[in-house]
Amino acid sequence: MKRSTLITAGLLALASCSSPTGWHFSISGAVALAAPVSPATMDNLWASVQACSGIRTSEPWHRVSWYSVPGDRFAYGPGDSAIGLWVSPHQIYLAAGPLEHGPSTAYSPQYDTLLYESTIRHEMLHDLTQAPGHGPAFTACHLAAGPGVQ
Ligand SMILES: [Zn+2]
């Protein structure tokens, strides 16, 4: 049995989006998470994306199966890597890098938090739109992909 699954990924200029993949999708090293940040923050991020996009759902962010992948980026196909990845219908993979950086790196804690939460919001919006593309909702939410991104 084979079922096409739409995949998309990314964040702003760092984002990347992919083509359909197979039914048995998995990413090496991915670990399931109950929530990537605190449930209260998740509530806020989910509400903010619905507000800016105008796409409402009565379903909670718990409808998504969340996964963390070690490192700043992860590979999800030949030549493709991302910091965030949405897999239809309700899977989101997040690079754990922003949570792994210590104070000696070039990243600041504020930047890491912003990057991580922006990635969560970007992938949440894919889950709300149920599509891999970056349509008007992404522009409205200031979550559109940048140059070089599909
Ligand atoms: Zn995207």
pLDDT tens-place string over residues 50-68: 999 999 999 999 999 999 9
User: The tokens of 72 are what?
Assistant: 């700043």
Burial class (CB within 10 angstroms; exposed 0-12, middle 13-18, buried 19+) of 32: exposed
Residues 6-52: tens digit of each pLDDT: 333 333 334 444 434 445 678 989 999 999 999 999 999 999 999 99
Domain that holds residue 102: 7-140
- The separation between CA 33 and the C-alpha centre of its own chain, rounded to angstroms, equals 13
Residue 145 domain flag: no
Find the 104 Cα to ligand 1 centroid distance in Å: 30
With 0.85 as the threshold, say if the pTM is over it.
Answer: no
HSE-up of residue 84 (Cα within 13 Å, Cβ side): 27
Find the 107 Cα to ligand 1 centroid distance in Å: 23
Find the 22 Cα to ligand 1 centroid distance in Å: 19
Residue 104 domain flag: yes
Residue 26 domain flag: yes
Residue 147 domain flag: no
Find the 30 Cα to ligand 1 centroid distance in Å: 19
Burial class (CB within 10 angstroms; exposed 0-12, middle 13-18, buried 19+) of 54: exposed
